Structure 1
């Protein structure tokens, strides 16, 4: 009896004898292990190892060299520069060198293959596609791995290209031709294949001169970097740094596979704070899952310990030690936890393999080869085993402290509770609350780490104070009916069975309430900071055609006239108004922008505004389409416009009586210069809270008086009327029938996103499932443990429905106590997380937050509706007839 062998034999026999209880524990432990292992396999499969990633970038080459030229004063880079880990040391524009110069730097034994990357825009019917392209020689062995041709062949002649499946599905499949701006000959698709990076993003590869127009300026050279695939002997880190001094960024295969120590890197990448935050959150989730599993499985081990009461008492009476008694119960955790952990880990492999195709369809990039991270999965299995042993720890400890005489006499009750545990729990709970508050207040200084640790501390403190609430419920149950008194007092008598179940429900509810408050507060921030594009109930029609260089674009006035006529014919009940604004540049300029400023100075009038139609200076004689003003301000503004004065909006307290409307113009490559203007225009300044969709409204008479009527153009259409969903759909079809680039937008104010609704529903369903799991598990185990008492009730003539009422009362006690306690505790992390998440220093002072919104309906549902649901399910699932058995089994 001195070792674990006998305890493990008892545990194995107990697993075989009590199959239902054992299956319950196996499920509770194996399910999270299974799910986490499946997630690990999918994540590892979706990612690429270092060697696989090197092949995707370098193909079969020994290095990839990016030339910036000697004028930049050298470069500095990380050992892995593939994701932007480099910077030039000078301010000069890069001036790449030719192949001969690069080969002289790398050595005459080096063989180079050119690789040029850029982005192109291609006309496809009435659409313009934008996608990245690469020019290289795919027939060269050095490019093996850069692109896999599945149909057709690799490009061999001029203007031949291959495309990936995503681009082929858009209409550029085998044999298709398309024109690339800046290249005289069209590109011909001779193959379709797979790019190792992008699954849904369109990609094309071609021979030199087929996809990238020749660079004529230094800026264009910078946008189409010249790179070289290099075949030569191994390039060491010391040689990489020498080449950096010559203006070369070098991704060396040898360095990528065997990076140098940090001490040899001039500017090592600092550890990302986001990585630390992510690690802290993952650690918190892991601890919470362990705690939840241990709490859910705790009642099962409590019942196991109860069934072994007489056995352990006989062991103690025969000279056994408390340590040996504890081993019997802990061995049950080892056996069940080991079986569940190993089973969940092994089952995860075929399940993950079956889910890979589904996960691949939801990913933008291609997955790597199927990869099973056995070491990580063993760690997860170890956590599952730890959770099972933790669940058995408290029942084992209490079983080792039982009164031997009382146990042999058949008196069943837990030993009296410790008075210190609740006090310690309150202290721990207080420490967690303070930590969460400090973490929220100092979010930028390791606040997330402190907050996540505090959440775990709060949960542990909550578990420690649960016995107090269980005992209090028993004291308050004196006036309840028989079933309620029985359930509450039996729950208090058998705390080892009740406390884990109540704590599991409380932890679930606390997590749901915390996430609900966080999501709801984030939505409150979105609602408060939402900027109306138009007054609610109005709509606009925009026209922003996509065009390629050299293409003739339709006249805007012509298109908008056709759109207006189509709307008036199809939806006559909708009123259509033209929106006019200062438009295209004059004075022979290519570019321009208009602004309004006080005549007395350069102050900015409005911090937050949006140019709904591409211009913030609208020309109109009324304010019907302007947002951010109340009815009184709108009336004053209409009067000012009727008098020939402009209306300007401000959120900075600047209230000028006169303003200047000023144009700034410039040509590409030239400095800005003044354009046309209206000086000293009388104005009415109105203060707005938040933002507005315009900066100023100028009356047409003022524009005409300044001789700038020809500078005003129609920039869009504004619609008024009964714009319900059906009308919106009809309007969209109507305007797109005129031109595919025309779009309709109906302003309906802030609308809760479907994503938020889905999140709240997922939280509610998760809470319901976990609460039902914890409540039903503990209740059925309680009923099994209470069979002798229920048999006594049957023997003295108890009604048939007594067992059903007792079961429902058990469920109500467990779920009700857990829900109330969990909801109260959940406010702590919920409020703490909401503060930093909803604080925006970039917004206007009145919109910076923080915001707090408690989803009271969801909280009420979790605290009231879910316990009633659990009670109802328990009542329906329990047989009414009482067991007719002997008092002592």
Structure 2
């Protein structure tokens, strides 16, 4: 017939358009199912591109008015970098400890560029409020009145600092009560500059930041990072390479704007990140495939009903000489019409929706978003994705309709043909392959692990879809003893598998994803809970100085005790003595237990893990405040009573002496120094089942052997203390010495995000299940109206119709949920193994039975209840009675 007749797409599209207009409810349903994912993904893409400020777009934030910024890479070692160092840089050649400990020579900047650099030093500090709350600040020292740095801050009120005892602060700090004219008491740094202005940071929002000239915030003597900025002429790639040789990492405006050819870039970023990119690509491909399958399955029943409504029309076309291809085009044209409309609506609505959400989302980000950015190429891909999903959803109904029995269709017999055994058998084979890939990927720790797990999950989903027709048929055959409504619904579902199978598969796919992610999340949570390291009995702790504050002198511990007891009179405070490990300027010193050696001369480790709240690994005393079991404490006290050092071990080691060694390390130098005169003392081991808070305890009888090394480390809080009391105690002791801290072990604290993940999984899974079940159910009821009218004609009550409607929902949801839960266990368990095998006694496995029970039992019942309440009790007659 040619393109203008039945053989072309023109008439098929006209029929599809008229059918979409005539059946508005069904059309809107398909539009929503396809448009919502397009809307969500397109909106997310716009928000993501707007929020992410990188490359050329971020240069003003990173450089201000400068041509380039420089920072130290690995000390004075030469480095290689990408044109944009944010994309990667590393040391060049063999690592050199000596050069790594040095700083690059700043004079090299002037030598290469001919410009004197302007420096900005960044560090941090603590600000204690009058109510005892601690605020952690970011501190920046530099001449922000210099034209190169002026764009980093925008003066809102007051003026910029004019001397080293003045600073400006952000609005967030002013909101805490530190406005113009107030002092900023940075007690841990020993300075309190005066606030003379309020500024906004060019990049950060709602962060507590203080800016001042060099020396105003004492960052020159504190751990901090330095960045140098240069103006003048553009810094080209040759200058970047010259600075790299001197140990600088360079961010150049000219180089990022106009990158050098690839052959001039020595750093191969794609090689360094290949494994990460491969893993991310595998996961992304899996997510895309799963979403595509889910949309196809959710929209499938709607196109199945559409095909059903065209059954007689297409049968007449076939009887008149029409070909199966022409019949398929009518159904596929409906998918094109609805798919194009849905993707256009979803894409266009994403623009105002993203614009409306951005101000709201900005409140939850501390980084300023960029200008409104619409990635049209990505939106085109998303739209094509939506159109493809609509087209694929119509392929199976179109194919089945084109192969229908013309005589049966003209006679009004509407049931599908008998299921073929080879389809579920093929599904079982494909499902087995998917399970094998997923399992092997979870057990493997090589590069193909993520790829195998992702591919296996998709293959399992496809196999599960092929299994559904056979499963539905089995349910129908075993429904003989069920009540009439359930029996009717199960058998009708089997007769009309074209619309039933996609719905069941959609529910199963959703449940499988929820179960798999739920198991992975619960197992990860179990690992965190069971590997939590207790540094003291829960609710107890220690009052002590900060690790780097001992060089400033020791407080009067009696005075500290009295101050703490004034706020917590019921607290038990015990003085703790031991061998101090602390930082003194740039020298880190600590006492260690030298591992004993066996007969073969090899070192024998005593503990797999140790460490606690005390600033020492060796305590002195006959009754130390340690978290031990009764048997462990008795064993320790017996060793101490014998005048020996108690060495804790979980390795089954036996010794009769121990060497206590003091080591020191210069953090700005290289190498480790060991005392040439270790202290040897008699000792015995104390077996413990778990990790130890300290490595050893020296009895009082041997304290004299240690000389002046023994000192008071702090006060052990041996009775439970709540958070409010801890805050009050800390406020009181900081009045004596601001470096004092009150550390209390609170036990494992579940991260709120873990609970949120489970709630989100349950909510999203529930919504998708309800969407798939209710969609398929109401479409089934619409398709089955003649059958239900017949039931009413032979005496069926309105209640029976409601029961049949609810049974449709229950059969679809329950069969899909059970199948999905079974399939979801495999990837869930497989993923949990590598996820929880990082360290410790893993892997861990925990099944979230409450979540699984909710999606497998409660949601099908909820679906049935919704259908029961919303179904019509009576139907209009389908034929006129004369």
Q: Settle same-fold status: TM greater than 0.5.
A: yes
Residue in 2 aligned with 1:31? 36
- How far did residue 837 of structure 1 move? 0.4
Alpha-carbon distance in structure 2 between the residues aligned to 1:588 and 1:812? 71
Query: 2:29 aligned with 1:14, yes or no?
Result: no
Secondary structure in 2 aligned to 1:783?
Answer: helix
Secondary structure in 1 aligned to 2:478?
Answer: helix
Matches within 5 A, 1:97-108: 97-98=106-107, 102-103=109-110, 105-106=112-113
Go from structure 1 to structure 2 and tell me whether the alpha carbon gap of 1:833 and 1:155 turns closer, same or farther (over 3 Å shift). same
Residue in 2 aligned with 1:425? 427
Alpha-carbon distance in structure 2 between the residues aligned to 1:155 and 1:691? 51
Select which of 280, 288, 291 maps to 2:290: 288
Go from structure 1 to structure 2 and tell me whether the alpha carbon gap of 1:654 and 1:8 turns closer, same or farther (over 3 Å shift). same
Residue in 2 aligned with 1:693? 693
Secondary structure in 2 aligned to 1:411?
Answer: coil
Alpha-carbon distance in structure 2 between the residues aligned to 1:136 and 1:531? 45
Query: 2:857 aligned with 1:864, yes or no?
Result: yes
CA displacement 1:834-878 (0-9 Å, x = unmatched): 1100112x43xxx1x212222233323322222222222222222
Go from structure 1 to structure 2 and tell me whether the alpha carbon gap of 1:594 and 1:887 turns closer, same or farther (over 3 Å shift). farther
Residue in 2 aligned with 1:655? 654
Query: 2:200 aligned with 1:198, yes or no?
Result: no
CA displacement 1:635-666 (0-9 Å, x = unmatched): 33333334433322112332213334444467
Secondary structure in 2 aligned to 1:542?
Answer: strand
Alpha-carbon distance in structure 1 between the residues aligned to 2:820 and 2:562? 62
Go from structure 1 to structure 2 and tell me whether the alpha carbon gap of 1:331 and 1:134 turns closer, same or farther (over 3 Å shift). farther
Secondary structure in 2 aligned to 1:479?
Answer: coil
Q: Is the 8 A contact 1:599 1:679 kept in 2?
A: no
Residue in 1 aligned with 2:64? 59
Residue in 2 aligned with 1:265? 265
Task: Tell me which moved more, 370-379 or 158-167.
Answer: 158-167
Residue in 1 aligned with 2:403? 401
Q: Which runs of 5+ in 2 are unaligned?
A: 1-5
Query: 2:138 aligned with 1:131, yes or no?
Result: yes
Matches within 5 A, 1:165-176: 165-176=171-182
Alpha-carbon distance in structure 1 between the residues aligned to 2:688 and 2:551? 43
Alpha-carbon distance in structure 1 between the residues aligned to 2:210 and 2:21? 62
Secondary structure in 1 aligned to 2:568?
Answer: helix
Q: Is the 8 A contact 2:679 2:706 kept in 1?
A: no
Secondary structure in 1 aligned to 2:675?
Answer: strand
Matches within 5 A, 1:378-397: 378-397=380-399
Go from structure 1 to structure 2 and tell me whether the alpha carbon gap of 1:883 and 1:547 turns closer, same or farther (over 3 Å shift). same
Relative to the length of structure 1, the TM-score reads 0.88
Q: Which runs of 5+ in 1 are unaligned?
A: none
Go from structure 1 to structure 2 and tell me whether the alpha carbon gap of 1:717 and 1:158 turns closer, same or farther (over 3 Å shift). closer
Alpha-carbon distance in structure 2 between the residues aligned to 1:812 and 1:131? 57
Residue in 2 aligned with 1:94? 103
Select which of 117, 121, 131 maps to 2:121: 117
Select which of 69, 80, 84 maps to 1:80: 84
CA displacement 1:370-415 (0-9 Å, x = unmatched): 2121221121121111111111111111111111111111111123
Residue in 1 aligned with 2:499? 497
Alpha-carbon distance in structure 2 between the residues aligned to 1:516 and 1:67? 44
Select which of 790, 800, 803 maps to 2:801: 803
Alpha-carbon distance in structure 1 between the residues aligned to 2:584 and 2:379? 70
Matches within 5 A, 1:144-159: 145-153=151-159
Residue in 1 aligned with 2:529? 527
- How far did residue 435 of structure 1 move? 1.2
Alpha-carbon distance in structure 2 between the residues aligned to 1:302 and 1:751? 50
Q: Is the 8 A contact 1:64 1:230 kept in 2?
A: no
Alpha-carbon distance in structure 2 between the residues aligned to 1:815 and 1:659? 67
Go from structure 1 to structure 2 and tell me whether the alpha carbon gap of 1:255 and 1:576 turns closer, same or farther (over 3 Å shift). closer
Query: 2:680 aligned with 1:679, yes or no?
Result: yes
Alpha-carbon distance in structure 1 between the residues aligned to 2:246 and 2:741? 51
Residue in 1 aligned with 2:55? 50
Alpha-carbon distance in structure 2 between the residues aligned to 1:585 and 1:413? 81
Q: Is the 8 A contact 1:174 1:190 kept in 2?
A: yes
Alpha-carbon distance in structure 1 between the residues aligned to 2:181 and 2:617? 47
Go from structure 1 to structure 2 and tell me whether the alpha carbon gap of 1:230 and 1:24 turns closer, same or farther (over 3 Å shift). same
Go from structure 1 to structure 2 and tell me whether the alpha carbon gap of 1:744 and 1:759 turns closer, same or farther (over 3 Å shift). farther
Query: 2:732 aligned with 1:738, yes or no?
Result: yes
Select which of 364, 369, 385 maps to 1:362: 364
- How far did residue 483 of structure 1 move? 1.0
Matches within 5 A, 1:594-673: 594-597=591-594, 603-622=604-623, 625-627=626-628, 629=629, 631-664=630-663, 672-673=673-674
Alpha-carbon distance in structure 2 between the residues aligned to 1:488 and 1:254? 70
Residue in 2 aligned with 1:459? 461
Alpha-carbon distance in structure 2 between the residues aligned to 1:155 and 1:708? 51
- How far did residue 594 of structure 1 move? 2.3
CA displacement 1:480-531 (0-9 Å, x = unmatched): 2211121111101111100010001100110111011111211222233222
Alpha-carbon distance in structure 2 between the residues aligned to 1:707 and 1:256? 60
CA displacement 1:780-815 (0-9 Å, x = unmatched): 111111111111111111122111110121111101
Q: Is the 8 A contact 2:191 2:218 kept in 1?
A: no
Residue in 2 aligned with 1:237? 237
CA displacement 1:149-190 (0-9 Å, x = unmatched): 333455677766544333444444444555889999985555
Select which of 811, 814, 820 maps to 2:818: 820
Secondary structure in 2 aligned to 1:801?
Answer: helix
Q: Is the 8 A contact 2:561 2:573 kept in 1?
A: no
Alpha-carbon distance in structure 1 between the residues aligned to 2:76 and 2:680? 46
Secondary structure in 2 aligned to 1:815?
Answer: helix
Matches within 5 A, 1:765-804: 765-804=763-802
Q: Is the 8 A contact 1:182 1:213 kept in 2?
A: no
Go from structure 1 to structure 2 and tell me whether the alpha carbon gap of 1:766 and 1:563 turns closer, same or farther (over 3 Å shift). same
Residue in 2 aligned with 1:703? 703
CA displacement 1:402-433 (0-9 Å, x = unmatched): 11111111111123334332232222212211
Q: Is the 8 A contact 1:794 1:884 kept in 2?
A: no
Relative to the length of structure 2, the TM-score reads 0.88
Go from structure 1 to structure 2 and tell me whether the alpha carbon gap of 1:230 and 1:112 turns closer, same or farther (over 3 Å shift). farther
Alpha-carbon distance in structure 2 between the residues aligned to 1:649 and 1:119? 39
Go from structure 1 to structure 2 and tell me whether the alpha carbon gap of 1:436 and 1:227 turns closer, same or farther (over 3 Å shift). same
Q: Is the 8 A contact 2:504 2:813 kept in 1?
A: yes
Q: Is the 8 A contact 1:166 1:200 kept in 2?
A: yes
Alpha-carbon distance in structure 1 between the residues aligned to 2:177 and 2:551? 23
